[in-house]
Amino acid sequence: MSDLKRMAAEKAVEDVQDGMTVGLGTGSTAYFAIMRVAELVRSGYKLRCVATSVQTEEIALREGIEILPLDEVEGIDITIDGADEVDPQLQLIKGLGGALLREKIVAAASKREIIIVDDSKMVPKLGTKSPLPVEVLPFGQGHTRRALERLGCEPTLRMKDGRPFITDGGNPIFDCRFPGIESPFFLESRLNTIPGVVENGLFLNMATKVIVASPDGIKIMER
């Protein structure tokens, strides 16, 4: 599986050109992209990068990559990130790595969003394999949970080391298990009207290219 992730990541980094501003994703697949970007920097590429999480920033800085705050760049030429599910229309579920809020902000600021996955992440319908992460405010999270349940899901508070997982933004996450998501755009709009919901892991119409690695090779899907 690591070989497949590396294949997809290295293929995506082929789109990075000298002088670009690059968004660096979060997670096990994006890690390989960060490593390849670091190789480009060491070879002489002048890149300015934005990190989608504290974890990614720490890895990038350790590898000698310049990291800038998002507000110090006018825009991002290309962001390379992973996904937890990809459907045939290139709609995504992201956020099992816990960075969905920053990932979505960076994606929205990017001219191109390249998603790198292995073929196990491809699904006929969103919600088939992965729960939908929903980041919520700590205040009143019990009420927020009940509102999520009324949408037809089973929300589970994400835990880490015996305690609630807390995002870089200081918020907990409910992993919401749906019996398949029939209408992602409708669900996104419903989620966004719930007081206490900070962000959800539906990344709709954001991916411009998806690179899928399988034992048979690389497949590229573009919008």
- Give the domain CATH number at 28: 3.40.50.1360
- 117 and 31 fall within a common domain: yes
Domain total of the chain: 2
Per-residue pLDDT at 168 = 97
Nearby residues of 101 by Cβ (< 8 Å), 6 or more positions away: 135, 167, 168, 169, 171, 198, 199
In angstroms, rounded to a whole number, what is the distance separating the alpha carbons of residues 27 and 130? 15
CA angle (149, 121, 129) in 5-degree steps: 30
Instruction: Please give the residue range of the domain that contains residue 138.
Output: 132-198
pLDDT at site 190: 98
Q: What is the Cα gyration radius of the chain?
A: 17
**Digit-coded pLDDT (tens) for 11-43:** 999 999 999 999 999 999 999 999 999 999 999
For residue 174, what pLDDT is reported?
Answer: 98
Query: E strand or H helix at 32, and its extent?
Result: helix 28-42
Residues 7 and 88 in one domain: yes
**pLDDT tens-place string over residues 156-178:** 999 999 999 999 999 999 999 99
Instruction: Identify the pLDDT of residue 223.
Output: 87
Query: Is the same domain home to 111 and 155?
Result: no
Say whether 10 is catalytic. Answer: no
From 10, 57, 103, 199, active-site residue = 103
Q: What percent of the chain has pLDDT over 70?
A: 100
Do residue 10 and residue 118 come from a single domain? yes
pLDDT at 1: 72
Q: CA–CA separation, 198 vs 80, rounded Å? A: 23
Q: What is the pLDDT of residue 116?
A: 98
Whether residues 76 and 10 share a domain: the answer is yes
CATH assignment at residue 188: 3.30.70.260
Are residues 13 and 83 both part of a single domain?
yes
Residues of the chain with pLDDT under 70: none
* Phi then psi dihedrals of residue 207, to 5 deg: -75, 125
